[in-house]
Amino acid sequence: MTPVMTTPTPRFDELKRRAREVAKHAYAPYSRFPVGAAVLCEDAIYSGANVENVSYGLSVCAERNAVFNAVAHGARRVDAVVLYTPTPATATPCGACLQVIAEFGPDAVIVCCSDDENAERRYTLKELLPAAFRAPQLAKR
């Protein structure tokens, strides 16, 4: 395991590159807001783009698609998530995405980047979702 806080900058640069690249494949005809995400799982990188549906509730965010892609390839731990939006300011993951990240990466670092490199922000999952719903809360009473 490579601790995220000591992950080399070139690794984060690769995650950002992959998130930007996959955003080009987003299916966002309704919002016109393409988003790309890349997740680091041990030494592997998986990516995903948002996919919208005319029934908005059935749309899936880029972050969840990236995590689901990682899980489909056998990953069970997310160390870092990079979220890219083609905007001047960064965007953070929505609550549903944060909860999915919490399932596989409770200690994950989340990097939010945009077209303005100076706007980049880094967060721990706990900063963005301090009281995540966790498996122990399902314990039998």
Q: Is the dihedral of CA 82, 41, 56, 29 positive or negative?
A: positive
Residue of 63, 103, 117, 120 with catalytic role: 63
Q: Which among 61, 23, 67 is positioned nearest to 45, based on CA atoms?
A: 67
DSSP secondary structure string for all residues of 72-105: HTT-----EEEEE-SSSS--PPPHHHHHHHHHH-
Q: Which SS3 state, helix, strand or coil, does residue 48 take?
A: strand
Opening angle at CA 74, ends 66 and 42, nearest 5: 75
| Pairing label, strands 36-41, 44-49 | antiparallel
Q: Which among 49, 62, 69 is positioned nearest to 92, based on CA atoms?
A: 62
Active-site residue flag, 52: no
Q: Any idea which residues carry the catalytic annotation?
A: 63
